[in-house]
Each structure stands twice: as structure tokens, then as C-alpha cells.
């Protein structure tokens, strides 16, 4: 019955996923800093001149630009024109859903669509919460003064009502899952509400973001299996947290000077010139945890080949990183979407390989019996 109730809801909202997930030319998230971008770990992007949207473009920015003018402030408040944040929230869900698939089968496409819709809604809710917390900061900074709440396009009351609407729709998505997953998903709400504040009280806001953004690594598995398997879910969740520490520390180096002046904290300010050593450690921990999750799932060669590619990507990313160049930090940050997609494909192919191995083993066994 839950699936039937969710089917009509997913068909309506699922149509929104492709345009907002497939990107707006690599624009990143910026939770606390960008004029219109959700920044990981409460960061603001440097001011950038946006390209003029093409009339018939299919990018997320073009979709927002083509929307009715009264709706555009709300769409920008959700950062629907900057989908990289949705990708980084969504990809750990795809890993978990794919690992939970039956051997030799593709991941559940209904679950992938449902979680994609949920990622859009929850990322939008996180952006709204962040802008409500930071509206006084944003008014004092030129590049963030045109945010919908800071600029007065949306009042505090309107943003609160809008947040309620987003959370209600997200609850509708959550209710399409089993009871275990409903409780597990509801447990993440405290993280969603509080993590935008962490940059004010600790030098580890990236850790708080990692704990929040990778909750889908737990939820995806439970949505398919009915409960969490600690031997798979915990290493996968830990790997996602390490991944977030990597990409958001890189991202934070763009704004470290402004952060120091404003009084905000980050791992970039904490690590300083030792950043590459820390990133290397996080990468080793991430790959080790992913290997452990693969062993627990009886994964096959394509999965471990994907881990090698991911490791090479991380090594190149860290080795060539220039922490004093905001443009380079931006490029390295956005390239992490590629890491997530490579791992997703490796999981899918590794799962399909299981069927091939099973069939070959069965044929060999039958052949031995006949002989």
C-alpha cells in the first residue's frame, strides 16, 4: 500500500528531478555564503558573473529563469539553479540503493527516483534554513545581499511558510518508504536544522555537514531491505563523511580570508598549510571503508576497479590542489561529482557481475555432474 500511495506522488514530483539533478554547468552548493548557491558546510562562493541563460536551454538555471517571475525568488531560495549540492546529497543514496540490489540486478529505479525527489526537497529545505539563520550576515556582504531573504524579496514569515511546505512534501516522500526508514529519516531532521550553525561554534562544520549529507547511505539500504545492515551501512556512511570532509575542506579554502574576518570557522582555517596531509588521510579512510563495505556485500572486480579509479582521482585532485587559488579550489570541488558517479557505476557493474559468476559456477557444476 505504501508503494501505491507513493507512486502517484513520485510520478508528479519525479518529473522535476532530471533538470535539477543534471546540472547547471558545474555550479556548486554554498550553504552560508553564495548569492544564491547552497554551500557545503556553510560557505559562500566568490561573486561570479552568471552566464546569460539561453531561451531554450535545458539547464537548471534556464528552468528557473523560465519560471513565472513571482516564483523565481522561491526557486532561487531552494538553489534549484545550482544543482551540484543536490548531486552531493543524492549520490550516497544511489550507492546504498545499488549495494542493496539483488545479485545480478539493476538498482530499484523507483527508489532512485524517489530519493532524487527527496534530495531536491531536503536540499532546498536546508538552503532555506541556512538563509533564515544567516540573513543578518548576508545583508552586510555585497555578494550575498541579493539573496531572496536578505534582499527583501521574501519575508521571514514567507520563508518559514515555504520551509513548512518543503518539509511537508519531503515527508510525503518519506512516507512512501517502510516504517523503519520513516523513523530513520525523521531522525535526521535535527542534523538538517542545526548543521548550518556549526560554522559559528566549531572548526569542524564540514564534519557536521558530512553527518547530514550522507544520511542517505543509511536510508537507501533500509528503504530496499527493511532495516540497516551495520556491516555494510556503517562503513558506507563513514566513507561518505570522509568524502564530505575532503570536498568541503577544499571548498572552504575559497573563503578562508572572509571567514577569518567575519568570525566563521572551518577545517580550511584549522588545517591551513597542512591541508593536503589531512585530505590524504581522509582519502585513505574513505577508500578503506568502501573496501570494507564491498567485502561485506561480496562485491566483484568492477567495484574494486572503480575504487582504484576513485583513488587515482583523489590522489590527482589533492596533489594538484592549490589552496591559495579560489578558482582551482572551485574546480577541484565540483569534480567530486565525477567521483560519486564513478563509484555508483562501479557498484552497479559489480552487482551485475555477480550473476555472471553465479551462472558460470552453475554451468561448471552441471558439467562436472554430467561427466
Distance of alpha carbon 242 from alpha carbon 206, whole angstroms: 10
Using the predicted structure, report yes or no on whether residue 294 has a pLDDT greater than 90: yes
**Does 211 or 200 have the greater pLDDT score?**
211
Tell me the pLDDT band of 24, cut-offs 50, 70 and 90: very low
> From CA 295, how far away is CA 304, in angstroms rounded?
10
All three cell numbers of 186, joined, read 525523521
pLDDT tens for each residue of 136-147:
666 665 546 677
Per-residue pLDDT at 167 exceeds 50: yes
Q: What is the mean pLDDT of residues 117-145?
A: 78
As a whole number, mean pLDDT of residues 262-291 equals 96
With contact defined as beta carbons under 8 Å apart, do 196 and 129 qualify?
A: yes
Rounded distance between C-alpha atoms, residue 162 and residue 140, angstroms:
24
User: What pLDDT does residue 151 have?
Assistant: 75
DSSP-derived secondary structure letter, 213: H
**All structural domains of the chain:** 69-356 (1.10.357.140)
Report residue 146: phi and psi, to 5°. Answer: -95, 10
Average pLDDT of 23-39?
A: 37
Q: What is the mean pLDDT of residues 127-155?
A: 74
Report the chain's C-alpha Rg in angstroms: 21
pLDDT of 131 strictly over 90: no
Alpha carbon 92 to its chain's center: 7
Residue 362 has a pLDDT of 53
Residues linked to residue 37 through DSSP beta bridges, in sequence order = 34
| pLDDT tens digits, 38-81 | 344 444 444 444 444 344 456 887 888 888 888 888 888 888 88
What was the pLDDT predicted at 76? 83
pLDDT score recorded for residue 363 = 57
The more confidently predicted of residues 149 and 322 is 322
50-64, 185-199, 225-239, 338-352: which range is least confident on average?
50-64
- pLDDT score recorded for residue 257: 85
Tell me how far CA of residue 329 lies from CA of 166, 253, 317, in angstroms. Answer: 31, 7, 10
Residue 192 has pLDDT above 80, yes or no: yes
First-residue to last-residue Cα distance in the chain: 50
- Quote the pLDDT of residue 82: 82
Amino acid at each position: 500500500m505504501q508503494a501505491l500511495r507513493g507512486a502517484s506522488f513520485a510520478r508528479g514530483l519525479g518529473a522535476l528531478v532530471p533538470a535539477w539533478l543534471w546540472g547547471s554547468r558545474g555550479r556548486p552548493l554554498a550553504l552560508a555564503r553564495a548569492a544564491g548557491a547552497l554551500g557545503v558546510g556553510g560557505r559562500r562562493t566568490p561573486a561570479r558573473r552568471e552566464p546569460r541563460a539561453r531561451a531554450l536551454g535545458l539547464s537548471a538555471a534556464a528552468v528557473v529563469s523560465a519560471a513565472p517571475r513571482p516564483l523565481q525568488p522561491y526557486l532561487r531560495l531552494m538553489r534549484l539553479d545550482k544543482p551540484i549540492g543536490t548531486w552531493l546529497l543524492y549520490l550516497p543514496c544511489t550507492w546504498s540503493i545499488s549495494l542493496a540490489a539483488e545479485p545480478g540486478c539493476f538498482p530499484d529505479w523507483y527508489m532512485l527516483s524517489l530519493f532524487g525527489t527527496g534530495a531536491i526537497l531536503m536540499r532546498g529545505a536546508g538552503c532555506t534554513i541556512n538563509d533564515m539563520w544567516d540573513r543578518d550576515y548576508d545583508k552586510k556582504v555585497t555578494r550575498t545581499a541579493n539573496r531572496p531573504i536578505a534582499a527583501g524579496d521574501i519575508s521571514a514569515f514567507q520563508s518559514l511558510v515555504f520551509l513548512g511546505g518543503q518539509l511537508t512534501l519531503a515527508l510525503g516522500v518519506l512516507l512512501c518508504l517502510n516504517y523503519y526508514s520513516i523513523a530513520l529519516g525523521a531522525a535526521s531532521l535535527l542534523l538538517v536544522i542545526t548543521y548550518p550553525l556549526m560554522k559559528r561554534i566549531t572548526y569542524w562544520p564540514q564534519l557536521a555537514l558530512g553527518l547530514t549529507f550522507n544520511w542517505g547511505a543509511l536510508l537507501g539500504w533500509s528503504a530496499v531491505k527493511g532495516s540497516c545492515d551495520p556491516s555494510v551501512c556503517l562503513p558506507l556512511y563513514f566513507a561518505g563523511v570522509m568524502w564530505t570532509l575532503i570536498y568541503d575542506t577544499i571548498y572552504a579554502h575559497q573563503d578562508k580570508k572572509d571567514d577569518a574576518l567575519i568570525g566563521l570557522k572551518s577545517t580550511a582555517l584549522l588545517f591551513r598549510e597542512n591541508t593536503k596531509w589531512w585530505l590524504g588521510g581522509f582519502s585513505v579512510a574513505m577508500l578503506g571503508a568502501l573496501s570494507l563495505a564491498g567485502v561485506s556485500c561480496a562485491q566483484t572486480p568492477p567495484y574494486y576497479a572503480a575504487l582504484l579509479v576513485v583513488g587515482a582521482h583523489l590522489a590527482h585532485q589533492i596533489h594538484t590542489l592549490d589552496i591559495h587559488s579560489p578558482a582551482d579550489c572551485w574546480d577541484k570541488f565540483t569534480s567530486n561529482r565525477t567521483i560519486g558517479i564513478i563509484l555508483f557505476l562501479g557498484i552497479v557493474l559489480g552487482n551485475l557481475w555477480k550473476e555472471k559468476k553465479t551462472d558460470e559456477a552453475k554451468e561448471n557444476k552441471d558439467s562436472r555432474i554430467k561427466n
